[in-house]
Structure 1
């Protein structure tokens, strides 16, 4: 899958690479189904690979990954805020789904900052935490602080992993 994607992205040059590194992490956090199809982490690692091969500057890959991560988190938070009441209503109390939803929102309410930070590094949580933070009513300023901090660690870590893997990856 990654090799196929790399070939398609390279057809659009540096614009395609930057779009991949920015949009996939953004869409992953804003629309959870995207994360199941193409994890943002894989796109960011590809950005590092392409940087090693000289298709884009590593700084460009870093900025695109950071911007995509933060923008996606903010969009996911906004979706959670918008659908706050519907989240509980769609998962009836007493059912398994209702209990899981209540537990997840409870976790966000108890461990908000930690959940935001750790969630950025866990594939399933990366797609759900932004929406759950919005739905739980976490204050936007607090959410933004932890979203930016976690993204500022996550984005460089995975771009650098891709850069280090550069000699073995697609070029």
Structure 2
């Protein structure tokens, strides 16, 4: 993980210093929508810059939170508009066979709220969360409630954690 954080710092620092909270908003939005973007690493890098006074935590936190909520909601919309067809067509290329998709659908039926909440903390699930929930026609109000709660907790951990405990990350510079 240290290598990933160090590499992430080197990649993200120039973008974050130049574009600030807008850069992290776009990054988290794209990741939450379904793109393979390393959001956690970007948020940690941005939080460390905020702790050094180079970004404002007061603009960073809402950028991360709203990027996550809007990205998940966009993924959900894409899923509702054609996600099931896309997942069944292209899913096998990433290991999501029809059998696995059927199993996911069964799990969503019984525990969708918790799956959506917890998926925010699991790489790959975080990216596919909205797409899958939308393609499985989870009611939007339930999805929004669960994913917003997950995004709030995730943002607090990954944005405020490094900000307040910056001394644990000093060796990354």
Structure 2 length-normalised TM: 0.83
Distance in 1, matches of 2:41 and 2:85, equals 31
The aligned runs of 1:128-147 (5 Å cut-off) are: 128-147=128-147
Contact 2:117–2:147, Cα closer than 8 Å, also in 1: yes
What's the secondary structure of 1:83's corresponding residue?
Answer: helix
Structure 2: distance between partners of 1:101 and 1:18 = 36
Would you say the 8 A contact 1:50–1:166 is kept in 2? no
- Counterparts of 2:53 and 2:114, CA distance in 1: 36
TM alignment of 1:160-171, pairs within 5 A: 160-167=160-167, 168=170, 169-170=172-173
**CA drift at 1:163:** 1.2
Task: Please list every run of 5 or more consecutive structure 1 residues that lacks an aligned counterpart in the other structure.
Answer: none
Runs of 4+ in 1 over 2 A off after TM superposition: 164-167
Aligned to 2:4: none
Residue aligning to 1:41: 40
- Contact 1:51–1:58 (CA under 8 A) maintained in structure 2: yes
Question: What is the aligned partner in structure 2 of residue 18 from structure 1?
Answer: 21
1:27 aligns with 2:33: no
Number of residues of Structure 1 aligned to a counterpart in Structure 2:
161
Gapped regions of structure 2 (runs ≥ 5): 1-6
Please report the RMSD computed on the Cα atoms of aligned residues, expressed in angstroms. Answer: 2.2
Note if 1:9 corresponds to 2:15.
yes
For the pair 1:118 / 2:118, whether they are aligned, the reply is yes
TM-score (norm 1): 0.84
